Structure 1
Amino acid sequence: MSTFENDDTLSRVPLPALEDTCARFLEWCTPLLTEEELADTEAAVREFGRPDGPGPKLHADLVRYNADPATHSWLDTFWPARYLGRRDRIALNANFFFLFRETPLHGFAEPQVERAAGLIAAAVNYKTQLDGERIPPVATRGKPLSMAQHRFLFSTTRIPGPVQDTVRAPYSDEWPGPSTARHIVVFQRGNVFRMNVIGPDGRPYSLDDLAAGLREVQKAGAARATTDTAAGHLTTMARAEWAAARDRLAALDPGNTATLDTIETALFCVCLEDLTPADDLAACDQLLHGDSGNRWFDKAVSLIVFADGTAGINVEHCELDGTTILSFVDALLAASPEEHAAKSGAAEQGVPAIEPVTFVLDDALRADIAAAARSFAQYGADTATATLSFDEFGVDEVKRLRMSPDAFVQMAYQLAHKRAKDFIGATYESIATRQYRRGRTEAMRVVTPEVLRFVSTFDDPAASPGERRAAFRAAADKHVERAKQCQAGAAPEQHLWELQLIQKRRGLELGVPEASRLYETPGWLTMRDDYLSTSSAPSAGIRYFGFGATSSRCIGIAYVLLPDRFNLYLSTPRPVAGMMYTFADRLREALRELRDLLDER
């Protein structure tokens, strides 16, 4: 089957009935509320959902939109508003990373060049397969998944805007079909170079050619760019500020527009880093928020390779989710560079053309670049992170104990959080919904009455092992049930959020001139005020996955569930770092205790 053959036949994301969404919303927020807060929230929901209230009017408009044959999903306008509408910086706040599994590079005199050339060859091979629609469609448990996001892997760049960003990408009305670009951009010590990776006749360059080209980049970029000329720093700014700076950049000199075009149309970025990470945590931090002068955070895909050949990827999130990138990364790492090069038809063509990519800058833009560099460096320093590799057991052992591995670790997070902070807080988990047409993710809220009962029972000295075990399994079963609801499109948050966005866009026209009180209730605000923000990446091709925390007191938990271990990357604002480290300690204890409880005879 061709890559995109299933996409038009997939069913649409189900649009829940308004009354079902309101009922689920109350069910989901109740465990986090006091009786008084719940009563206030219930009253607002009744007001929102009454026959002449704002809810039915807004929902009716969404029903009409969903019925339009041109609509792929009732979430078609939601995703741009959610991702492209955010106005803070995307670097560290929205982009995510994967640290690739270790690759033996012993015997290589130039491990960075060898690893980078191999990854480029693999990525170009993937593009050639994708262009011919020869990437097999992904399926889970026999169900085909949407491959639409794969169209945004190459030559895709987020463009800052004053109110909402846009996306420049192939497979669009402006740029039909696969990307025709033949170059990448390579960052070296804050210097930027265009490097061809596909020759004039459409054949990819050989591995030796790519390595030779990278050596030329290293030579040309040997002198580190001064901070105020490394324009990549600008991509760390808040979006409206970056949009204004980009406009000034383009207006200053016609050559700057051509330079932006070179970067934005490049197939992907390769960032060569001088340093050798001291450990996995150092590598993860660099992948998330390393030298911003050596990045272009708006680029969909940036392959980052360190001096010792350690490598990973930084991803701009607006059109790409973790499952799509996992498929891409798994393919890159599934074969040797030589196999990838051979499959793509790569041929010796000599050293690829290397051209410096530079901007004309005035004093004001130099000052903006330097200020952005200082601000982001401080922002990174103000973010505390930790890696936790729990190697006493992993997925195989949890399955032996007849429990969902995801439910197992999520219950461990709740127990550890209660022990670290003495309360249960709102917890988000991302649930993939790619089985639907242009499906992406659904927002799951983890805290249930069963979770509260489990945590209370587990640390009750009067509870018997049997009572603890029963409470644990009941909470885990409820977790699995709710995850299945999310996978079936039966979740309340994104539905209510889209209704809120419709009111902001078209409220006057629809007879809903004012925002509903529902969105100011304790239920709505508390349920979405994350203390834990969690997402998993199941792949043996990566060591760690990571993203930044989502609020001033949130712990971001990116977890990789492997057969023999659990690898986690934690992030939180530095002022509350102590709680994150305590949580990590309590989590190790909780994982052991829960496993022992299930294993008792």
Structure 2
Amino acid sequence: MLRFRAVSRINTNDKLFNNGHRYKQIFGCRGIQVSQALYSTSVGNDFIHESIVPSDHFQKSLPHLPIPKIENTLTRYLNSQSTLLGEEQFNYTKKCAEAFAYRDGSALHDDLVARDKLNKQTSYVTEPWFDMYLRDRKPVSLTHNPFITFTDDPNPKYMDQLLRATNMVMSSLRFMKTFRANLLEPDVFHLNPKKSDTLQFRKFVRRLPKSVSFYGAYWYKAFPLDMSQYANLFNSTRIPRHNKDELVVDETAKHLLVMRKGHMYLFDAIDRDGNIVSPDVVMAHIKYILDDPRPQNDNAIGVLTTLNRDKWATVRTQLCNAGEMNESAFFSKGVYNDGYMKLVDSALFVLVLDDDAPADPNAITRNFLHGDGTNRWFDKSFSLIITKDAKTAVNFEHSWGDGVAVLRYFNEVWKETTTKPFVHPDTVPANVHSDRIVQKLEFALDPKLKEYISDARSSYAERCASLDVDHLEYYKFNKQYLKDKKLSPDSVLQFAIQLAYYKQFGKTVPTYESCSTAAFKKGRTETIRSATKETKRACAMVESGEIMHSVQDLTLALQECSTIHSKLTKEAAMGQGWDRHLFAMKYYAEQAGTPLPELYKDPAYNYINQITLSTSTLTSPAVVIGGFGAVTPNGYGVGYAVENERIGFNVTNYPPETNVHEFVNCLRESLDDVYSILEGKHPRS
């Protein structure tokens, strides 16, 4: 009989957990890469598949996100600071850390541990992390919302806006229903797929009680991941409130919100019996919207979602008060009806139909990251954006999740629409009265609201113009090449980013790489501090200006960078970074009105958290590229992917303090330097 160890966390002595590269494969950044051999049955038009193992089967037994020991957190913190600070500055920061460990910090840590013990169904970062996002008063567009671009359909005949929109909507609805019916295959990473990604494994874990199911999977070297964020994917929105926004989910709503030329349309995509509307009917409704001859809406209210959150909260209240139909609910003929704002908030998701067809990668990035704001509703959990030539992307609001659910949705929808589409080039839209079924939302607008809209368009245009973007595709080497060289592909790309900045500015700066902690219940993210003493030393060696170091020395330096980065990745994925621990203690101290210890007042603490290089990787056959705005005025936002065919970078910045085109050129040079070294040639020869 199989026995289960009564453990509260994963055994970090396991050989898997001493290999940071495997961690990157398991947990990734801004998303999860998992094997999805489903061993399930297809069940008509409602579900993508019917999993043998229920979606929530592992949720109850997922390990609790650990709180690091305070001495370990401070050691890691000082290691990161030593890369950035001069000797005098570092000595002061070290004194602050030592005082923190033995005085105020110890009490804050104990308080955090006590709180955590009372909340076993969540994690210690959940409340502070949600609160950080929802209290942030900056606009969500550019600042928070990222985008991910779908790979084109391999069959050019399906790269038609109407066809792709219909197929994407159908698969999106099927994904939603599959998850809500508890039939979506759970997210599981299979370390040994031949052993665990099997029907036998699924039958075995299905029989286990939910309270121990995780440990049964772990016995197979399979690692279930947290799926709590999926509940916020559909029928979800962020509502602006003064001081702190609100996340709202209404699973009863059955309608889809469609936007085109700044106009808003609704139609039910789920019928009264809870079934998905047939594909030819959905196609007919979308065609009706695409054929609507109305010109661009000069008073498109979507641009209001680009405002500062307090400003938007004020304007939204005025918008709701401007007309009875505008409200969240109104009373008519003896019953309460959903008003326009409630209908927008509760919609399944937003389908955005753009009339533009941007051609080059930079224009595509701009369209999917920000557009002009008039044909967007950035507050919704996600928007599915489809251009005139059927280029497709997801733009999602970030407070509710970290891309875990979005990437799974993304992969499933792309797979189904490219292999089993519902409508085809010869499909005829249903003969239905779309003019009677599709509802057009005509918000009542007074002169003041029209002025707000005009001002929002102008200010948003200025913000978007202040952002610059550039793109790099690189083909000299790829993921498999780096694996063959026994290097972590992610560590090499992170080193290339460090080297590019060093080439441009001659220094090392605070760097953030996102790492999911979905191996734990209600885990969010941890930071990989990828600017290390090893990368700084290797940059200086490559850029020494002459052949002072042999190819062997440079190769060894790259290997050292890979080793330390793998270690940091492992620690971050296991909740053993320093960022979230210090952040949570600071959050609760501020909540309690406790004077902050000197560590938090140290200018070095503020500096290391002003992220100059914000980086994130996302790799999937379904993904062309993803991107996000730089998080500081003097920094870069770097989205990247290293695949078996290519390496891709999507970079943003705010001139004039930085120059993204120069940075991308430096990235290309850095990759060339890495390639030369790995080919046994000196980059300066």
Q: TM-score, normalised to structure 2's length?
A: 0.82
What are the ranges of 5 or more consecutive residues in structure 1 without an aligned counterpart?
Answer: 171-178
Residue 234 (structure 1) shift: 0.8
After superposition, give the CA deviation of every residue in 1:363-396 in whole Å (9 maximum; x if it has no partner).
Answer: 2111111111111111111100011111222111
Structure 1 residue 363 and structure 2 residue 447: aligned?
A: yes
Residue 458 (structure 1) shift: 2.3
Counterpart selection for 1:490 from 576, 581, 593: 576
Q: Which residue of 2 aligns with 1:20?
A: 72
Q: Which residue of 1 aligns with 2:598?
A: 517
Q: Which residue of 2 aligns with 1:175?
A: none
What amino acid is aligned across from residue 458 of structure 2 in structure 1? R
Take 2:480 and 2:431, find their aligned partners in 1: how far apart are those partners? 48
After superposition, give the CA deviation of every residue in 1:141-192 in whole Å (9 maximum; x if it has no partner).
Answer: 321111111111100100111111110014xxxxxxxx22211100010000
Secondary structure of the residue aligned to 1:597 is: helix
The equivalences for 1:295-310 within 5 A come to 295-310=376-391
Secondary structure of the residue aligned to 2:513 is: strand
Counterpart selection for 1:243 from 301, 307, 313: 313
Residue 219 (structure 1) shift: 3.2
Structure 1 residue 404 and structure 2 residue 491: aligned?
A: no
What amino acid is aligned across from residue 556 of structure 2 in structure 1? A
What amino acid is aligned across from residue 184 of structure 2 in structure 1? I
Quote the sequence identity (%).
Answer: 27
After superposition, give the CA deviation of every residue in 1:398-418 in whole Å (9 maximum; x if it has no partner).
Answer: 111111110010111111111
Any conservation in 2 of the 1:189–1:221 contact (CA below 8 Å)? no
Any conservation in 1 of the 2:121–2:521 contact (CA below 8 Å)? no
Any conservation in 2 of the 1:29–1:526 contact (CA below 8 Å)? no
Structure 1 residue 415 and structure 2 residue 499: aligned?
A: yes
Q: Which residue of 1 aligns with 2:513?
A: 429
Take 1:291 and 1:186, find their aligned partners in 2: how far apart are those partners? 17
Q: Which residue of 2 aligns with 1:444?
A: 528
Take 1:489 and 1:74, find their aligned partners in 2: how far apart are those partners? 11
Deviates more, 1:559-568 or 1:289-298: 559-568
- Residues 56 and 264 of structure 1: is their aligned pair in 2 closer, same or farther, counting only changes over 3 Å? same
Q: Which residue of 1 aligns with 2:555?
A: 469
Take 2:556 and 2:549, find their aligned partners in 1: how far apart are those partners? 11
Take 1:577 and 1:357, find their aligned partners in 2: how far apart are those partners? 43
Structure 1 residue 254 and structure 2 residue 306: aligned?
A: no
Counterpart selection for 1:88 from 138, 148, 164: 138
- Residues 121 and 40 of structure 1: is their aligned pair in 2 closer, same or farther, counting only changes over 3 Å? same
Structure 1 residue 479 and structure 2 residue 579: aligned?
A: no
Q: Which residue of 1 aligns with 2:55?
A: 3
Secondary structure of the residue aligned to 1:87 is: coil
Counterpart selection for 1:114 from 142, 163, 168: 163
Any conservation in 2 of the 1:159–1:298 contact (CA below 8 Å)? yes
What amino acid is aligned across from residue 270 of structure 2 in structure 1? I
Q: Which residue of 1 aligns with 2:15?
A: none
Any conservation in 2 of the 1:191–1:221 contact (CA below 8 Å)? no
Superposed structure 1 runs of 4+ greater than 6 Å apart: none
Secondary structure of the residue aligned to 1:574 is: coil
Counterpart selection for 1:388 from 469, 472, 475: 472
Secondary structure of the residue aligned to 2:445 is: coil
Any conservation in 2 of the 1:430–1:442 contact (CA below 8 Å)? yes
- Residues 462 and 316 of structure 1: is their aligned pair in 2 closer, same or farther, counting only changes over 3 Å? same
Any conservation in 1 of the 2:168–2:417 contact (CA below 8 Å)? no
- Residues 41 and 338 of structure 1: is their aligned pair in 2 closer, same or farther, counting only changes over 3 Å? closer
Q: Which residue of 2 aligns with 1:132?
A: 181
After superposition, give the CA deviation of every residue in 1:116-148 in whole Å (9 maximum; x if it has no partner).
Answer: 111101101111111111110111232111111
Take 2:624 and 2:225, find their aligned partners in 1: how far apart are those partners? 25
Counterpart selection for 1:234 from 276, 285, 304: 304
Residue 323 (structure 1) shift: 3.2
Residue 553 (structure 1) shift: 0.8
Structure 1 residue 199 and structure 2 residue 271: aligned?
A: yes
Secondary structure of the residue aligned to 2:470 is: strand
Any conservation in 1 of the 2:83–2:508 contact (CA below 8 Å)? no
After superposition, give the CA deviation of every residue in 1:480-525 in whole Å (9 maximum; x if it has no partner).
Answer: 1111111111111111111111111113xxxx3x222212213312
Take 2:400 and 2:393, find their aligned partners in 1: how far apart are those partners? 19
Any conservation in 2 of the 1:544–1:559 contact (CA below 8 Å)? yes
Residue 105 (structure 1) shift: 6.0
Secondary structure of the residue aligned to 1:356 is: strand
Take 2:518 and 2:268, find their aligned partners in 1: how far apart are those partners? 34
The equivalences for 1:174-185 within 5 A come to 179-185=251-257
Q: Which residue of 2 aligns with 1:174?
A: none
Take 2:90 and 2:634, find their aligned partners in 1: how far apart are those partners? 23
Residue 320 (structure 1) shift: 2.2
- Residues 438 and 221 of structure 1: is their aligned pair in 2 closer, same or farther, counting only changes over 3 Å? farther
Q: Which residue of 2 aligns with 1:74?
A: 124
Q: Which residue of 2 aligns with 1:176?
A: none
- Residues 337 and 38 of structure 1: is their aligned pair in 2 closer, same or farther, counting only changes over 3 Å? closer
Secondary structure of the residue aligned to 2:476 is: coil
Take 2:157 and 2:628, find their aligned partners in 1: how far apart are those partners? 34
Take 2:403 and 2:655, find their aligned partners in 1: how far apart are those partners? 26
Counterpart selection for 1:29 from 67, 70, 81: 81
Take 1:46 and 1:105, find their aligned partners in 2: how far apart are those partners? 61
Deviates more, 1:41-50 or 1:91-100: 41-50
Take 1:7 and 1:583, find their aligned partners in 2: how far apart are those partners? 43
Residue 221 (structure 1) shift: 5.8
Any conservation in 2 of the 1:49–1:55 contact (CA below 8 Å)? yes
Residue 454 (structure 1) shift: 1.2
Q: Which residue of 1 aligns with 2:229?
A: 149
Secondary structure of the residue aligned to 2:472 is: strand
Take 1:404 and 1:432, find their aligned partners in 2: how far apart are those partners? 18
Take 2:106 and 2:188, find their aligned partners in 1: how far apart are those partners? 36
Q: TM-score, normalised to structure 1's length?
A: 0.93
What amino acid is aligned across from residue 173 of structure 2 in structure 1? V
Counterpart selection for 2:98 from 42, 46, 67: 46
Q: Which residue of 2 aligns with 1:225?
A: 297
Secondary structure of the residue aligned to 2:77 is: helix
After superposition, give the CA deviation of every residue in 1:266-307 in whole Å (9 maximum; x if it has no partner).
Answer: 000011111111222211210000131111000011000111
What amino acid is aligned across from residue 481 of structure 1 in structure 2? K
